Amino acid sequence: MIRTPCLRKIFAGAAVSAAGLLLNPAGPLAATAFTSVAAGDMSADDAILWTRTIDTASGRPVAAALTAQLAAEPEFREILFSYKGATDPARAGTIKIDATGLSSHTRYFYRFVSEAGEISPTGRFTTAPRDDEKVAVRFAFSGDAHGAWRPYPLVQRFGELNLDYFVFLGDTMYETASTGSPAAVDPFADPVQALADYRRKYLENILPVKPGGFPGLQALFAAQGNYTLLDNHELGNAQFMSGGALPGEPPGKGVDTANPANDVNGSCDFINRTRGFTALLQAYLDFQPVRERRVSAPGDCRSDGTWQLYFAQRWGANIIFINIDDRSYRDIQMALPGGGGDSGPRADNPRRTMLGKTQLAWLERVLDNAQKQGVTWKIVAISSPIDHVGPFGPIFPWDGPKTWIGGYRAERTRLLKYIVDNRIDHVVFLTTDDHLNRVLGLSYLAEPGNEKTRTPVPGAFTIVAGPIGAVAPDRFTRHDYAAVKAVADKLAADERAADIEPVGLRANFPGLKQVFREGDPEADAARQPVDFFSPDTFNYVVLEISPDGKSLAVDTWGIDSYTENSRPEPDQVAPPRRILGFRIQVD
């Protein structure tokens, strides 16, 4: 029996197909072809379904009436749910459908069927468990997919991971040039062309590099449901990446980031209201399977009426997933008068914000309520690193003005202090952005500049993962354990000399067990910096939480990096292997 719930259609999209998970490949298509499929923003009773259609003769986006079908198995012998809608050429031929009325903690297979009978590839997703369900949850995350490293053979086996969900943690495409793909135009100079160029960049990431080749991120998106974050490259990696900054004159030009007078925007004029920012965010909404809803914050002109990309979703009794938007509301990324980033005393300004007051207060409430409700694991996805590493990056400096510690220290301290003061335990921050894999504990200075006031955040840590494919890991031409250990040891020595806690988790971190590092048979006994560090691989991190919430397993899977624009297909690289991992056992 076909159930047809009330349709909630949201125009916009995210691209994805099933390659590698082509569970129900389409036959020859007539007038309309599907680019790919994706599902995202799953709750306990709904999910956002996405696809894109083109005219097969011209290759241009086309309006196509279609039906989204859901089934319990990939053969679609019984259609459980059916939703009707139409793709929109004005939105690059995409559609989002809110598939409502679903059962909790249930795996669904989905596809789209046109009126003429063309069938899309098949994807799958799992709805979230109810708040009282004690179930195992398995998810993964990574980010940073630069077109110069297409077609991303790292994701070749995503269909085999059996994930409940994946978190695409920002920089889902890059606006810069790569072989065969010109850079996007300046969105301030030409917002209309920038919208077209950014859509092109998103599309390229889900298409093969060569005819019949591996179709990039299609396999990733279709393998499971997804949550997606906004980061700097979706916003041009210039003035628009700081959505809460002053818009400049004319609006969108931005302001002088070296002038301390611009460090805090106390007005009600923001770059997140300009044509350039709006165009870039539109492209993101068109090509990611995210909900489209507005913030209601009448007392906060920085946030009120903006697209709400932050939310929290329970995944059963023991887990809450919290998705943060740290780009739309942040104050400027500061620079020095002579050029380069400024991470000096200006970053201690208590009025500077990364999240905006509405989102920050919301995040604190969510964490506090989760603790009071007995939720063991609070998983917080952020697009900018929150750890303290120091300016010791082997390729480019870390702790720069884009990070919490480098540009927004007072707000970082407020958040971490709130976690400590309210005894909120087992907070795990996930991020990418630094183009390598590392794990660190968290602490803050109760008094800025006074190392004697350093305060640890008990049980909290952060994992930096990735990239899926981007610059930095390719600069490491040696991938043996000794070479990586030398880099990790140098980093740790520099950190200790600067009174920074070295990379990795302390040997006595509560509940830490079963530490694994490729090439280090003594990893669990020694627990050195190298055991929590991988600078030379393209990777993703898989996390699995036990049904009782007492155990968290963390494992990095990756491949050796390859050079820019070399375009390897999956059969030209080794499959992903386990690089490092550990377990946290809760008493």
Task: Spell out the domain ranges in the chain.
Answer: 8-126, 137-585
Q: Using DSSP, state whether 307 is helix, strand or coil.
A: strand
pLDDT at 303: 98
pLDDT tens by residue, 71-89: 999 999 999 999 999 999 9
Q: How many other C-beta atoms are found inside a 10 Å radius of the C-beta of residue 338?
A: 6
**72 φ/ψ sector (left φ>0, alpha ψ -120 to 50, else beta):** alpha
Render the burial of 158-177: b for 16+ CB within 10 Å, e for the rest. bbebebbbbbbbbbbbbbbe
pLDDT tens by residue, 91-111: 999 999 999 999 999 999 999
pLDDT at 449: 79
**Res. 3 pLDDT band, cuts 50 70 90:** very low
Give the separation between CA 556 and CA 536, rounded to whole angstroms.
13
CA 136 to chain centre: 22
DSSP 8-state symbol, 149: G
* Selection from 12, 63, 65, 78 nearest residue 40 by Cα: 12
Where are the extended beta strands (E) located within 196-353?
225-228, 311-314, 319-323
The length of the chain, given as a count of residues: 587
**Res. 28 pLDDT band, cuts 50 70 90:** very low
Give the separation between CA 122 and CA 49, rounded to whole angstroms.
11
pLDDT tens by residue, 408-423: 999 999 999 999 999 9
Residue 275, pLDDT above cutoff 90? yes
Q: How many other C-beta atoms are found inside a 10 Å radius of the C-beta of residue 66?
A: 25
Q: Which residues, in sequence order, are CB contacts of 248 under 8 Å at separation 6+?
A: 239, 254, 255, 271
**DSSP readout, 322-358?**
EE---SSSPPPPPB-TTSSB--SGGGG-TT--SS-HH
Give the separation between CA 497 and CA 452, rounded to whole angstroms.
15
Where are the extended beta strands (E) located within 250-333?
311-314, 319-323
Q: Tokens for 209?
A: 């590099």
* Selection from 268, 266, 236 nearest residue 253 by Cα: 236
* Average pLDDT over the chain, rounded to an integer: 93
* Mean pLDDT value of segment 151-167: 97
Tokens 């799992």 belong to 126
- Residues 137-585, CATH architecture: 4-Layer Sandwich (3.60)
**Res. 561 pLDDT band, cuts 50 70 90:** very high
- Cβ proximity of 315 and 129 under 8 Å: yes
DSSP 8-state symbol, 6: P
138: buried, middle or exposed (CB in 10 Å: 19+, 13-18, 0-12)?
A: middle
Alpha helices in 384-423 (DSSP H): 404-407, 409-421
Specify the amino acid at residue 392.
F
pLDDT at 541: 98
pLDDT at 461: 98
CA 44 to chain centre: 21
* Mean pLDDT value of segment 119-141: 98
Residue 9, pLDDT above cutoff 50? no
pLDDT at 451: 80
Q: Tokens for 530?
A: 């190298």
Give the separation between CA 383 and CA 419, rounded to whole angstroms.
19
Q: Tokens for 513?
A: 């067990």
Residue 570, pLDDT above cutoff 90? yes
Q: Tokens for 82?
A: 């059916």
**Res. 252 pLDDT band, cuts 50 70 90:** very high
pLDDT at 452: 84
- Cβ proximity of 115 and 65 under 8 Å: yes
Give the separation between CA 213 and CA 533, rounded to whole angstroms.
32
- Cβ proximity of 62 and 87 under 8 Å: yes
Alpha helices in 429-572 (DSSP H): 481-497, 523-526
pLDDT at 15: 32
Percent pLDDT > 70 in the chain is 95
pLDDT at 57: 87
Q: How far is CA 110 from CA 21, 30, 150, 218, in A?
A: 12, 21, 26, 15
**DSSP readout, 209-234?**
SSTTS--TTHHHHHHSEEEE---TGG
Give the separation between CA 188 and CA 249, rounded to whole angstroms.
11
Omega into 153 within 30° of 0, i.e. cis?
no
Domain 8-126 in this protein, CATH class: mainly beta
Give the separation between CA 533 and CA 543, rounded to whole angstroms.
16
Residue 430, pLDDT above cutoff 90? yes
Q: Using DSSP, state whether 317 is helix, strand or coil.
A: coil
DSSP 8-state symbol, 520: B
- Cβ proximity of 35 and 18 under 8 Å: no
Q: Please tell me the pTM assigned to this model.
A: 0.94
